[in-house]
Chain A
């Protein structure tokens, strides 16, 4: 499973994004300050696709930022390697077509142990954390995670609402 060629296309939106015209890509260190770069990347996507409705922009941006925050936090939890943290980077690609918005996020952090079908909001309404992945799942039509070639690979899909 994990030793397949990371470039080998697999089923689903991950394969689709590479063929989507006008996709935007960014590779950067996985640190909190990188958030602003990703917000800017999404602004560029909206400039290129002014017909994307606000409701879809909100959902998509929410999910992308939550997954990125998950990657950043996860990267920061790593144990020091030889006294120093190894550099953690991520790549993001975003694209839009008439039907959907797609993002792929990849990082070289530790494998995630998670079951996306089991993600839920905290039972305690006053919990201060633990909503990130549940919020991403709620905002998206599909969220897919896999470990490919020693990397974490996330694929996010948001089907666009029919315009008025």
Chain B
């Protein structure tokens, strides 16, 4: 099963860390977590994927849903430190351009 670590940094950026497999079951929870952050006024979100061991198309859908709602609220969603397994799915779906992975959580919003 998957766990989500959620923290809001002093600079107002929300960091969500899915730990485990981000599949159909987990995607619903991720969507809720991301929607909750944006709803509470945190529209700049980093999803740290260093501990995400598996990602499927529903997990991708949750990330894109989060990206859209963050942008609508004037912010953005950025993905950091994807595992090789996650990166593989980004490439196969050509979403590595939309969800351009960042090397670190700390610098994900530097540019």
Q: What residues of chain A have their CB less than 8 Å away from a CB belonging to chain B? A: 32-33, 35-36, 39, 54-55, 58-59, 61-62, 65-66, 69, 72, 121, 125-129, 131-132, 134-135, 138-139
Across the interface, do B57 and A69 meet the contact criterion of CB distance under 8 Å?
Answer: yes
Task: Return the CB mask of B18-46 against A: 1 if under 8 Å, else 0.
Answer: 00010111000000000000000000000
Task: Return the CB mask of B40-60 against A: 1 if under 8 Å, else 0.
Answer: 000000000000001011101
- The minimal Cβ–Cβ distance linking B38 to chain A, given in whole angstroms, is 15
Across the interface, do A33 and B25 meet the contact criterion of CB distance under 8 Å?
Answer: yes
Closest 7 pairs between A and B when the two form their complex, measured CB to CB: A128-B61, A131-B57, A132-B57, A138-B92, A58-B88, A32-B25, A58-B85
Q: Is the interface of A mostly helix, strand, loop or mixed?
A: helix
Across the interface, do B61 and A65 meet the contact criterion of CB distance under 8 Å?
Answer: no
Across the interface, do B93 and A35 meet the contact criterion of CB distance under 8 Å?
Answer: no
CA distance in complex: A51, B68 (Å): 41
A66 and B57 contact, Cβ closer than 8 Å, known pairs A36-B1, A131-B93: yes
- The minimal Cβ–Cβ distance linking A158 to chain B, given in whole angstroms, is 13
A127 and B56 contact, Cβ closer than 8 Å, known pairs A58-B88, A139-B92: no
Across the interface, do B23 and A135 meet the contact criterion of CB distance under 8 Å?
Answer: no
Across the interface, do B92 and A62 meet the contact criterion of CB distance under 8 Å?
Answer: yes
A126 and B23 contact, Cβ closer than 8 Å, known pairs A62-B92, A135-B57, A139-B92: no
Contact among B25, B84, B85, B89 with A135 in the assembled complex (CB-CB below 8 Å): B89
Across the interface, do A126 and B68 meet the contact criterion of CB distance under 8 Å?
Answer: yes
Closest to A38 in B: B23
Instruction: Say yes or no for B95: interface residue by CB 8 A criterion.
Output: yes
CA distance in complex: A69, B25 (Å): 10
